[in-house]
Amino acid sequence: MYSRGDEVFFRVFRNKILFNKIFDYVQRRKNSVIIWDKYRYKTLKNYKWGDLNLDAPTMIRNQWFGLLVDRLEKDPTFDISYIDLWDFLTINNNYHLFRRLYDRIPTMFKNIDRIYSKHIISKKSRKRHIINTRENKKSDTLLDSCCAVKNNFEIIEFLYSKKFKFSSNALKNSLKYGNVKAIKLFYPFFSREFKTDIFPEVIDSIVYHGHFETLQYLEELNAIPTIIKRPIICNAIQYDNFEMVKYLAERSMGGMYVDPRYYPYELRNVPVSKMKYKFTLVDLAARYSTMNETRLHFYLMETLKIPYTFQSLYNHCKRGNLEMVKWIYKDRPQYFEDKDKLKLLLKNAVGYGHIHICEYFVSTLKVKPTSEWNTATHLSLLCKYNLPISDTNMSIQIIQSVVGQLKLPTLKSLVETPSTRPYMERIEFFRFLENSENSRYTDQELVDIFNFLTSHGISVYYPHIFKHSVSHSLPSTLKTLISKYKSHQKFGLDCKIFLAMLKLSFQYRDTTILGILLDNTDIFSNTEYKDFYRSYDFTKPFECSFESILYLFDKYSDHLSITPDRQGIIFNKTIKLYPAIYTDKSLYAALEFCIQNQYEFLDIKCFTNYFMACDDLNSLQRISEEYSVTTPGIYVHNATIILKFLVRNNIFGEEFHNNRDFWENYFTNNSNFKFCDFKLLLYNCYPTFLLLKDSIFNALWKGKTLYNNNSFIKFFTKTGEMTPQDLEIYKREALHSNRKFENDFEYNEYSRHKKLKKKPNKNK
């Protein structure tokens, strides 16, 4: 229920004029308020004006800090927990809002610092626990986390003046976020461990975010170590930060040439595998640079006089930097003379899909293609320069990768090029067509590709493209395939393929594909169908949607038959209605349709289990009017719906006598029972309850699951089923079982210490 303050608040909230003047910081879309999740990358839910419940976590998650402070100041009953305050301080950088909140509830801020520093989770923090220590580092304090927010030094200074606790993480977070004032505040406390412990952890973030002021201040303090494992400039090169590289190089900061791995290496007659760790800073820049970025490379080579090696060329081919590849070819052409190294360069360019690098190698360097050229992109390059394919095994690799990403322009170049045409004629297209959820082609694209292939005499693998057109709902392609197949093929289509297509079309609500298939049942031979009918396994029927059933009985009722002929392609045993492919509304409609028309297409067991799992008593009752419903033993963990069904039909007594073991086990040994089950049993089946009474009370006395549940004891005491004498027995048994455990523990501890005392001393 809303309080009076909530009513006033929502009156203002629903008034658009007041809302626009007061709540300008609330993000809006048309007439809805958008609530974002904690990562703020997707909409969680859209609320209308009167449906929004603005609690503290919602306001903090959407950064409505002004609204949070206003609500807390004017509503003394507004609920805010310690964890809400923690989240507020780790996001907010507005000092005035923080002071208003702190002046309103200063004790809660002090409790966070006091309790969390001792790693204790309080259960008295209004309605929620304080902070889960598993989600945060134990060494973090509130002041440490505040240092991880930009432009909030006033808040940090205020908490420091109030003697809030802090650790070395306060300095680490200040360094990572470039808060120079906070660094000046905390550095004197941790100056000794700075060079050895703190600096190696934070230098990566400082260089990545480009905190020049932080580096300048550390340089003034002489706090940057002179000997480090990895030079700082390597981090700057790795993040492709040219300004940071220039800043470090001009000041010679961070030990540029300390690491022995980074030294010049010239090309010698050494195997490529041994060149793995021998590269310079220029080679490192080539490894992490973006495409067509040359400024950093020339600065390192011309200004700092750092040489490059073959590793640079290798990395440029890998990153697709064509400008640097051309420059290295003019500067050191000997790198391109070694066949093994040239093959390695080409493998990199092909593997990462840099077609412009491959084209440069083919056009300028006259490089012949190898087995690595197995994608459609590079295959089109072969057609462009009319290059021959010499490797026969390579054709299989080409087609396996090409057909999955086949486009009509590439296909035309492959078929019309003299060097590749012989290989295209030996291949059955669409044999390796990828089977994904979304088709790579539209309906018209696939029709154009199919028509082009058949017009040029290229063989097509019909079974796979048939299945593809049905599974991705491509009616134009299916019609084209059927007409071409009838006119060109001498033999009928395999019955297994045709029935597989029928099986797929039955599951869809769109009946267009189903109609096309049923209109063309003459696509397969009648003789083959009779042979197939004798060996068909009817224990696995088709899963059919309700729309397909209606469409089938409306327009194609003549296809339903028991005799195995061409006209009766579908028989009663081949299709079944399954609940898994329905919505809730169409599921009950399918049930009513089959019951009224007396069609035996229902899988009664699946429907019964589905309604039991959904707790749908009305649908279960409707099934029981026409079919026999049995109690499945697998629902021992959720038998409430079965119990309601049996009670409604006054057949629980009979069912209990038939399956007494099942129900005794449910009421006494099941850990997932519900309280309403006992009420149903007591109020509607009292004779059966009397038979189970002793077993239930024994479970209350001795069972581990029911031991701490006092609601059962109160219920049976209030209804008079458990007398005071029974209650005393229950308490005595419970205390006895607990005391017995303690005695066993004490006895085991006593025995262990006694054995330790009797052990002889080996030192003597």
**Residue (of 297, 347, 341, 340) closest to 321 by Cα position:** 297
**Region of poorest pLDDT, from 69-83, 93-107, 242-256, 619-633:** 619-633
Which tens digit of pLDDT belongs to each residue from 102-121? 988 888 888 777 665 433 43
Which range in 250-254, 322-326, 370-374, 611-615 is most confidently predicted, on average pLDDT?
A: 322-326
CA of 122: how far to CAs of 102, 128, 362, 457, in Å? 20, 9, 71, 79
Q: Which residues of 101-115 are buried (b: 16+ CB within 10 A; e: fewer)?
A: bbeeeeebbebbbeb
When pLDDT is averaged across residues 632-656 and rounded to a whole number, the result is 61
Sign of torsion, CA 383 387 388 394? negative
Residue 708, domain extent: 641-758
R_g of the chain computed on alpha carbons: 39
Gap between the Cα atoms of 556 and 569, Å rounded: 10
Residue of 396 and 629 predicted with greater confidence: 629
Judged by DSSP in three states, 577 sits in strand
- pLDDT grade, residue 712 (50/70/90)? low
- pLDDT of res. 515: 78
- pLDDT grade, residue 157 (50/70/90)? very high
- pLDDT grade, residue 596 (50/70/90)? low
Residue 672 is assigned to a structural domain of this protein? yes
- pLDDT grade, residue 323 (50/70/90)? confident
Indicate the number of domains in the chain. 2
- pLDDT grade, residue 132 (50/70/90)? very low
Which range in 277-291, 639-653, 723-737 is most confidently predicted, on average pLDDT?
A: 277-291
Residue of 246 and 48 predicted with greater confidence: 246
The pLDDT of residue 530 is above 80: no
Judged by DSSP in three states, 307 sits in coil
When pLDDT is averaged across residues 618-645 and rounded to a whole number, the result is 61
Sheet of strand 43-47: strand arrangement: 28-29, 32-36, 43-47
Q: What percent of the chain has pLDDT over 70?
A: 46
Gap between the Cα atoms of 94 and 110, Å rounded: 20
Residue of 490 and 547 predicted with greater confidence: 547
The pLDDT of residue 701 is above 50: yes
Amino acid at 414: L
CA of 609: how far to CAs of 593, 603, 604, 613, in Å? 19, 10, 9, 6
As a whole number, the mean pLDDT across the chain is 67
Gap between the Cα atoms of 614 and 763, Å rounded: 71
Residue 234 is assigned to a structural domain of this protein? yes
Residue 284 is assigned to a structural domain of this protein? no
Judged by DSSP in three states, 4 sits in helix
Let me know: does 573 contact 529? Beta carbons within 8 Å. no
- pLDDT of res. 599: 57
Let me know: does 370 contact 378? Beta carbons within 8 Å. no
Amino acid at 218: L
Q: What is the 3-state secondary structure (H, E, C) of 171-233?
A: HHHHHHCCCHHHHHHHHHHHCCCHHHHHHHHHHHHHHHHCCHHHHHHHHHCCCCCCCCCCCHH
The pLDDT of residue 264 is above 60: no
Hunting for tokens 């093959």 — which residue is that? 343
**Region of poorest pLDDT, from 27-31, 111-115, 304-308, 637-641:** 27-31
| Lookup: tokens for 42 | 């997707």
Amino acid at 568: G
- pLDDT grade, residue 134 (50/70/90)? very low
Residue 743 is assigned to a structural domain of this protein? yes
Gap between the Cα atoms of 727 and 721, Å rounded: 11
Residues 6+ apart with CB under 8 A from 138: 119
The pLDDT of residue 294 is above 70: yes
Residue of 1 and 113 predicted with greater confidence: 113
CA of 169: how far to CAs of 92, 148, 446, 467, 486, in Å? 19, 9, 60, 60, 76
Residue 509 is assigned to a structural domain of this protein? no
| Lookup: tokens for 689 | 């309850």
CATH number at residue 186: 1.25.40
When pLDDT is averaged across residues 613-622 and rounded to a whole number, the result is 64
Gap between the Cα atoms of 754 and 69, Å rounded: 64
Gap between the Cα atoms of 215 and 114, Å rounded: 34
Residues 6+ apart with CB under 8 A from 671: 705
The pLDDT of residue 61 is above 50: yes
Judged by DSSP in three states, 678 sits in helix
Residue 205 is assigned to a structural domain of this protein? yes
| Lookup: tokens for 276 | 């793995």
Let me know: does 247 contact 254? Beta carbons within 8 Å. no
Q: Which of 236, 257, 278 is the last residue of a domain?
A: 257
Largest CA distance in the chain: 103
Judged by DSSP in three states, 460 sits in strand
**Region of poorest pLDDT, from 265-279, 347-361, 662-676:** 265-279
Q: Which of 257, 291, 311 is the last residue of a domain?
A: 257
- pLDDT grade, residue 393 (50/70/90)? very low
Cβ neighbour number for residue 525 with a 10 Å cutoff: 16
Residue 10 is assigned to a structural domain of this protein? no
Task: Classify 469 in phi/psi space as left (phi over 0), alpha (psi -120 to 50) or beta.
Answer: alpha
**Residue (of 232, 281, 222) closest to 254 by Cα position:** 232
Residue of 744 and 247 predicted with greater confidence: 247
The pLDDT of residue 425 is above 80: no
- pLDDT of res. 367: 61
**Region of poorest pLDDT, from 247-251, 469-473, 714-718:** 714-718
Sign of torsion, CA 657 658 660 665? negative
**Region of poorest pLDDT, from 177-181, 231-235, 252-256, 297-301:** 252-256
The pLDDT of residue 40 is above 50: no
- pLDDT of res. 158: 92
CA of 264: how far to CAs of 246, 302, 314, 317, 519, in Å? 20, 15, 16, 20, 75
Which range in 345-349, 544-548, 584-588, 629-633 is most confidently predicted, on average pLDDT?
A: 345-349
Which range in 133-142, 207-216, 589-598, 650-659 is most confidently predicted, on average pLDDT?
A: 207-216
Residue of 408 and 557 predicted with greater confidence: 408
Residue 616 is assigned to a structural domain of this protein? no
When pLDDT is averaged across residues 472-481 and rounded to a whole number, the result is 82
CA of 446: how far to CAs of 121, 277, 336, 453, 479, in Å? 63, 49, 43, 11, 12
Which tens digit of pLDDT belongs to each residue from 195-218? 888 888 888 888 888 888 888 888
When pLDDT is averaged across residues 580-597 and rounded to a whole number, the result is 59
Hunting for tokens 């077609």 — which residue is that? 355
- pLDDT of res. 138: 45
| Lookup: tokens for 664 | 């005794």
Gap between the Cα atoms of 293 and 312, Å rounded: 13
Size of the chain in residues: 764
The pLDDT of residue 320 is above 70: yes
**Residue (of 567, 505, 570) closest to 536 by Cα position:** 570
Which range in 53-67, 416-430, 542-556 is most confidently predicted, on average pLDDT?
A: 53-67
Let me know: does 197 contact 168? Beta carbons within 8 Å. yes
The angle subtended at Cα 61 by Cα 60 and Cα 64, nearest 5°, is 50
**Region of poorest pLDDT, from 37-46, 408-417, 512-521, 618-627:** 37-46
Q: Which of 240, 257, 274 is the last residue of a domain?
A: 257
Q: Which residues of 39-63 are buried (b: 16+ CB within 10 A; e: fewer)?
A: eeeeeeeeeeeeebebbbbbbbbbb
Gap between the Cα atoms of 203 and 419, Å rounded: 56
The pLDDT of residue 373 is above 60: no
The pLDDT of residue 540 is above 50: yes
- pLDDT grade, residue 593 (50/70/90)? low
When pLDDT is averaged across residues 238-266 and rounded to a whole number, the result is 64
Q: DSSP string of 386-437?
A: T-----STHHHHHHHHHGGG--HHHHHHHHHSTTTHHHHHTS-BTTT----S
Residue of 625 and 48 predicted with greater confidence: 625
When pLDDT is averaged across residues 34-44 and rounded to a whole number, the result is 39
| Lookup: tokens for 718 | 């209030």
